[in-house]
């Protein structure tokens, strides 16, 4: 197998994992500006700029994709990736791959939203161009479904993709990359202020029945997968286990200090299912809620 073929395999594998496991759209752009692979299929033709073109009749193009690919293809010395915003406000990543000093292809990752959907739409002045409210709602829904994160998060994804594509110590073939991500020494630079914001939001809202990774991610403007990685690296525990621990701690206090029914306490601390509450409580305390309450009262007597 030639080096170029192996490099293309690495591009395919990296794009596959970023697309299927994290939810990014990816494409591979060759030396002649041809798009040789799209994940998911045909996403380039349905991108934001093409949707704007359909709404307004004004011609929009994806020349920015090719111009940035041309730029990174010349970075033979440092082989740097490029993170940029397209003319319509969405972030994109271009990661080049080289066989020696020869450019082989580039992995394009995105678009990624780093601004609220409403702000992106306002910048296009669509109402002034006669676009109806129904069509605005439709394109807003499209934007809200895109990966959403801070610029630092986008840079982390670019760094990860570049490492997976260029680090020859990572041995993988085609689509069997997920174990390499877990076992590699690729790490994210996690901002302390972000961790504090996440902790504060969770402590103030963990009793919300709808508490989820997605809810936290929307509050701090990063992707849910990044939140999950923060919990693995910073708290050494899965997100759901962390939430359940806070809820059981509060439930224990309420069982010990109030006469509320166990059903009411279950809902007060954020559980919507009584039997699930009992199982989680027993797994942490070693007793069911009723057993815990009885033992606490016996101890007081």
- Under the banding of pLDDT at 50, 70 and 90, the label for residue 178 is very low
Angle at 274 between CA 270 and CA 279, to 5 degrees: 95
**Peptide bond preceding 40: is omega within 30 degrees of 0, i.e. cis?**
yes
Give tens-digit pLDDT for 280-292: 999 999 999 999 9
Give tens-digit pLDDT for 62-81: 777 777 777 777 765 555 78
* Rounded Cα distance, 109 and 72, in Å: 14
Q: Could you give the strand order of the β-sheet that contains 26-29, starting from the edge strand earlier in sequence?
A: 35-39, 26-29, 102-112, 91-99, 82-85
Angle at 24 between CA 90 and CA 142, to 5 degrees: 55
pTM of the complete model beyond 0.75: no
Same domain, 82 and 176: yes
Same domain, 179 and 280: no
Nearest-10 Cα torsion for 113, 116, 118, 121: -30
- Under the banding of pLDDT at 50, 70 and 90, the label for residue 13 is confident
Which candidate, 173, 29, 9, places its Cα nearest to that of 95?
29
Give tens-digit pLDDT for 195-204: 888 888 898 8
pLDDT at 176: 39
Domain boundary, last residue among 163, 183, 203: 183
pLDDT at 185: 40
State both tokens at 191.
Answer: 């901002």
Same domain, 179 and 218: no
The CATH number given to whatever domain includes residue 243 is 1.10.10.60
pLDDT > 80? residue 294: yes
Residue owning tokens 């991500």: 181
Same domain, 119 and 214: no
Same domain, 177 and 236: no
Domain count, the chain: 2
Same domain, 88 and 201: no
Domain boundary, last residue among 148, 183, 218: 183
3-state secondary structure 9-52: HHHHHHHHHHHHHHCCCEEEECCCCCEEEEECCCCHHHCHHHHH
**Domain span holding position 207:** 190-301
Same domain, 12 and 156: yes
């Amino acid at each position: 197998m030639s080096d170029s073929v192996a490099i293309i395999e690495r591009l395919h594998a990296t794009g596959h994992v970023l697309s299927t496991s994290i939810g990014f759209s990816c494409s591979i752009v060759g030396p002649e500006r041809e798009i040789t692979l799209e994940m998911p299929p045909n996403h380039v033709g349905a991108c934001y700029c093409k949707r704007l073109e359909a709404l307004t009749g004004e011609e929009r193009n994806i020349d920015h994709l090719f111009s940035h690919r041309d730029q990174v293809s010349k970075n033979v010395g440092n082989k740097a990736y490029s993170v940029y915003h397209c003319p319509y406000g969405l972030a994109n990543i271009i990661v080049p791959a080289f066989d020696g000093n020869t450019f082989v292809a580039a992995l394009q990752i995105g678009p990624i939203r780093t601004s609220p959907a409403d702000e992106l739409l306002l910048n296009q002045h669509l109402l002034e161009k006669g676009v109806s409210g129904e069509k605005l709602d439709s394109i807003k829904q499209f934007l809200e479904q895109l990966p959403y994160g801070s610029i630092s998060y986008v840079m982390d994804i670019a760094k990860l993709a570049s490492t997976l594509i260029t680090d020859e110590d990572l041995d993988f073939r085609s689509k069997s990359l997920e174990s390499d991500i877990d076992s590699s020494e690729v790490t994210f630079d996690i901002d302390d202020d972000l961790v504090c914001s996440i902790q504060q939001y969770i402590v103030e809202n963990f009793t919300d029945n709808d508490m989820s990774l997605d809810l936290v991610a929307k509050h701090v403007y990063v992707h849910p997968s990044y939140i999950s990685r923060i919990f693995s690296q910073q708290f050494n525990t899965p997100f759901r286990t962390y939430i359940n621990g806070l809820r059981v701690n509060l439930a224990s206090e309420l069982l010990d200090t109030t006469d509320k029914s166990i059903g009411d306490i279950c809902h007060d601390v954020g559980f919507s299912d009584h039997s699930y509450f009992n199982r989680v409580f027993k797994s942490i305390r070693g007793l069911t809620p009723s057993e815990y309450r009885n033992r606490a009262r016996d101890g007081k007597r």
